[in-house]
């Protein structure tokens, strides 16, 4: 992935970094994705190319600056025409939002259960 520099964009690299980081993190919000779909940004080939370009945020060293990891999942989902068509529907937006909430609510508990199960397996003598 070639990352555009100041010569190509006319924008200082530090400013472009901050703007792109903020935009990518906004993608974690299903309500914002719904708004983008309603405004038909998700039908615009130039905008879709921009979303493809932003995939570099999933790689080092950029990924370390991401505060909302769901933003990267949404960036992946936005590559799918089916997801882009579905997110315009308010009911689907709410479904995505509720699934995101459930993930946040239960993440720690699920990890504790997984850790306990792993300890159990490791403590069991091999036959």
Domains in the chain: boundaries: 6-123
pLDDT of 81 reads 98
Reported as a pLDDT band with limits 50, 70 and 90, residue 72 is: very high
For the chain, give me the number of helices (H) and strands (E)?
Answer: 7, 0
**CB-based contact 24:73 (threshold 8 Å):** no
pLDDT of 127 reads 66
pTM, whole model, 2 decimals? Answer: 0.75
Task: Determine the average pLDDT of the residues in 27-45.
Answer: 98
For the domain spanning 6-123, the CATH number is: 1.10.10.1340
Q: How far is CA 78 from CA 12, 19, 96, in A?
A: 27, 19, 13
Q: What is the mean pLDDT of the chain?
A: 90
pLDDT of 121 reads 82
Reported as a pLDDT band with limits 50, 70 and 90, residue 35 is: very high
Task: Determine the average pLDDT of the residues in 48-65.
Answer: 97
Q: Give the rounded distance of the alpha carbon of 110 from its chain centre.
A: 21
């Amino acid at each position: 992935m070639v990352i555009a520099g100041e010569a190509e964009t006319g924008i200082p690299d530090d400013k472009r970094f901050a703007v792109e980081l903020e935009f990518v993190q906004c993608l974690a919000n299903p309500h914002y994705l719904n708004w983008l779909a309603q405004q038909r940004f998700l039908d615009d080939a130039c905008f879709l190319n921009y979303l493809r370009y932003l995939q570099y945020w999933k790689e080092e060293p950029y990924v370390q600056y991401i505060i909302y990891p769901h933003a990267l999942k949404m960036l992946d989902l936005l590559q799918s025409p089916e997801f882009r068509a579905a997110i315009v529907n308010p009911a689907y937006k709410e479904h995505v939002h509720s699934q995101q909430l459930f993930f946040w609510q239960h993440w720690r508990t699920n990890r504790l259960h997984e850790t306990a199960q792993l300890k159990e397996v490791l403590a069991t003598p091999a036959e």
